[in-house]
Structure formats: structure tokens, C-alpha cells
Copies of this chain bind each other. A is one copy, B any other.
């Protein structure tokens, strides 16, 4: 089911990405589009809002992203577990994954790749630095626009351990009172 989103400050996307969830990366180049499942990513900076990630050269998405210099990082919840697995186990060279998995492609604001409406959050990204792509397939993106569903505040996300097994995000623990203000 599609969830309504509101604008979210890009400098704060660590809120959703730092916990390390599996994400769905959507891309587009000319008349082609695709979605891939990705688990190798990290926040790199607040301002500009940088995210680094590994996109293996064998993926159909690799050339779409390298050529367009854009993508959308979408955050699925456990409601999409089978979709996440299905997307990771077929190739966009053979099928249109939006159609195959019944996902809704919404237009993004600043990039050509589509937002996946059924995801909890969508982060529009532009390629900022490709200097480590040849050596490590490592792309550094700047998040230029963020859309997040206001509820639930802590969505149940999937965290991949390999071997077909996910750990699901569980309870929330606040230690806010123990932090020095500048460390928050």
C-alpha cells in the first residue's frame, strides 16, 4: 500500500539510514528503469547529505546509475519483505520490476528515477563522487530531496545478515539524557 509522505530535512537522513536497513534503489536512464536491493551503504556527511554505497558492476542498475548520475534510495519496511527478496533475486535486464512486483512509480522532484510509493521513505540522490567506482564499485551520492511517511515514527526495517536471513528492527532505547548536547 502506498504511504503519504512529507518533506524531510536531507541533513537528517541518518535517522533512517544509519541503523543499516536494506534499501531499494530505483534508477532510470533513457527508456530504461530498474530497482535493486542494497545492503552495503553508509552515511558519510550531514551537510552536504552524503551517502556512500556499493553497487556491484554486474547489476543491471550499475550502468543506469553511472550513466544518469542519479538514483532514489527507498526504505522498505517488513510489509515488503517478500518484495525485497524478489527484487534481489531477479535481473532488471529481463523484467520491469515495478510491474513484476506491483510497485507504484511516483515522479521524483529532482531526479528522473522514480520514488517507490509503497516504501516508508524516499531519498532522491545525485552522484557526487565517482572516484572509487572503478576500484570498489563505490558511489558517493548527495541526497538532494527526502520524502518520509510521518507515521510510524520507527518503522520496522529489514537488516540483512547474508544467507537469506534478515534481522528485523525491534525495540527503541533512548539514552538521550546521557548525551552531551553537542553529541546529539
Contact = CB atoms under 8 A, between A and B. Distances in A.
Contacts of A158: 173
A53 interface: yes
B50 A136 contact: yes
Taken together, the copies of this chain in the complex come to 2
A136 B170 contact: no
A180 B43 CA distance: 30
A40 B39 contact: no
Nearest to A19: B159
Majority DSSP secondary structure for residues of A touching B = mixed
A15 B161 contact: yes
**Which of A14, A78, A86 has most B Cβ within 10 Å?**
A14
Interface of A: 12, 14-16, 18-21, 39-45, 50, 52-54, 78, 81-82, 85-86, 88-89, 129, 131-132, 135-136, 138, 140, 154, 157-180, 183-184
A160 B140 CA distance: 21
Given A19-B159, A132-B132, 4 more contacts: A50-B136, A136-B140, A159-B169, A168-B169
Contacts of A170: 167-171
